[in-house]
Amino acid sequence: MTDTDIRTALEQATGELRTPPDLLDRVRAGGQRRVVRRRTLLAAGFATIAGGSTAGALLAGTGGGETPVAAPLLDRPTRGDLKRDAAFLKRVRAAWRDHIGDAAVLGEPHIAWAGSAPHGGRIAVVAQRAPLRKVQPSGQTSSGPTGFVEEDAAGIRVISAEEMLDVTAPAPAVILGRRNNVLMVFDDGRRIRYSPEPSYTAEGKVHRTFVPLDFRAHDGVAFVATAPQPTLIRVGLRADVANGGGDRRVGLANLSRLVRATGRGAMHGMDNRTVLLDGLPIMARVDLRLDHADYDDLYGYRIVTPPETWYVRGTTPDGRRFAVQTQSCTDDRVRLFLTLGTLEPALLGFTDAAAPLAVQVRLPDGQGVVVAAGDGDTGYPAALRYRVARGAWLPVAKDAALLPAAATEVEVTVRGGRPVRIPLP
């Protein structure tokens, strides 16, 4: 078999493929959405210092030109109970210089806050001027780096560093402690509020109750003790004052570090397992997918890749369109939704995404049972069979299906595993 034969085989395998005629329109529309979303996400990572509350002024130009530019964090006196601890401040500046290395900066790092944290560590918020430069992809102007420095028994280190931007501003919160059980929020003037955990409305949308933070006890910083959160961060933060992008979300400065520490974070967003039983295109104009903006935890944080979710769409025997889908949240609970004959999803409850048969929904009016099989830890699709009462086992083509209403039991087999029989509801 020659190289030409291989080429021919690959061409044969793909020769019938054509892109949809409206692809360009979709791409343009999707691209525009991404531009908007990117701006929003950027805004979420940072927090605007409220008008003039902590803003100083910086001279534009690489050598310090003439245009005054807002430079929050840089020009107010140091606050915190360790603001006069010269030895600590010196160690903070040294750690900061080590961290930023050869980056082009101006003058000395400024310590905006230095103090003791409830978990026993010492924390500092540092900022430093740098020649103004445009930062892509936001196109905003950066006036220099800023970040958090932590000292504990293991030593002193920079735990976050980011740009101070002209429209948005740096993330003012960090999660501290060996067990991620201390939340620290620096008062940036946006009147940040705190929520211990998400809850759900009757429709399955995420709800949070926010309470004010007391920034007086620690001279401009609030500490909140939280439950240990090795892989989940249940807390949420929201600012009363929207940032320059109109966003009330509050960035977590060391989120990337927390993600890396779990070893389980892809941070590419949730992945969705889609099975279409109705033969319509995946991007059908009238789709039944949840609008994630309504069902996501807007003010929470993720540090591990969420469990795979399901979207099983089809048509019932009596001709109604249905969709069964799952949706995860920052608290790791997975909601199960059914949309049937309308565009409105109904919350059925919660499911265990790791269960052998993660989805089992009996449709009303004898329209059948929707099932979808999780694949455990094997990484391969599960094989399904079903039966009616004590009848013969019948094969299922995929790992998700609409079974006849008479089905009473499903058998799930993951690769290398023993069959598991699950009675249907």
Partner 1 sequence: MRDGFDDFVRSRSTGLLRIAYLLTGDRHSAEDLVQEVLEQMYVKRRRIHSMPEAYARRALVNRAANRWRRRGRRPEAALGSHDVAAPDHSDHVVVRDAVLEALRELPPRQRAAVVLRYLEDLPVAEVALALDCSESTVKSSVSRGLTRLRAALVPVTTTTDGRRS
Where do contacts with partner 1 occur on this chain (CB under 8 A)? 1-20, 23-24, 26-28, 30-35, 38, 136-137, 266, 268, 271, 273-276, 279, 281-283, 305, 308, 375, 377, 379-381, 397-399
Which of 30/228 has CB closer to partner 1? 30
Which of 21/425 has CB closer to partner 1? 21
d(CA 166, CA 320): 52
d(CA 12, CA 277): 27
The residues facing 148 across adjacent strands are 125, 160
The DSSP string of 70-103 is E-TTSSSPPBSTTTT-HHHHHHHHHHHHHHHTT-
Which of 230/265 has CB closer to partner 1? 265
Which of 13/202 has CB closer to partner 1? 13
Minimum distance, C-beta of residue 38 to partner 1, in the bound complex (Å): 7
Cβ proximity of 341 and 320 under 8 Å: yes
Minimum distance, C-beta of residue 377 to partner 1, in the bound complex (Å): 8
Which residue in 215, 196, 197 sits closest to 206, CA to CA?
197
Cβ proximity of 89 and 111 under 8 Å: yes
d(CA 362, CA 425): 7
Minimum distance, C-beta of residue 337 to partner 1, in the bound complex (Å): 21
Minimum distance, C-beta of residue 308 to partner 1, in the bound complex (Å): 7
Residue 393, CA distances (Å) to 127, 384, 412 in order:
67, 10, 12
Which of 70/259 has CB closer to partner 1? 259
Which of 27/104 has CB closer to partner 1? 27
Minimum distance, C-beta of residue 52 to partner 1, in the bound complex (Å): 33
Task: Put the strands of the sheet holding 394-396 in their side by side order.
Answer: 394-396, 383-387, 409-413, 420-423
Cβ proximity of 78 and 151 under 8 Å: no
Minimum distance, C-beta of residue 237 to partner 1, in the bound complex (Å): 27
Which of 231/305 has CB closer to partner 1? 305
Distance between start and end Cα atoms, the chain = 53
Minimum distance, C-beta of residue 325 to partner 1, in the bound complex (Å): 16
d(CA 386, CA 421): 9
Non-local (6+) Cβ contacts of 234 within 8 A are: 196, 197, 198, 226, 227, 300, 330, 331
Which of 154/397 has CB closer to partner 1? 397
Which of 57/267 has CB closer to partner 1? 267
**What is the Cβ-side half-sphere exposure of residue 415, based on CA atoms within 13 angstroms?**
7
Cβ proximity of 328 and 309 under 8 Å: yes
Minimum distance, C-beta of residue 3 to partner 1, in the bound complex (Å): 7
Minimum distance, C-beta of residue 4 to partner 1, in the bound complex (Å): 5
Cβ proximity of 57 and 71 under 8 Å: yes
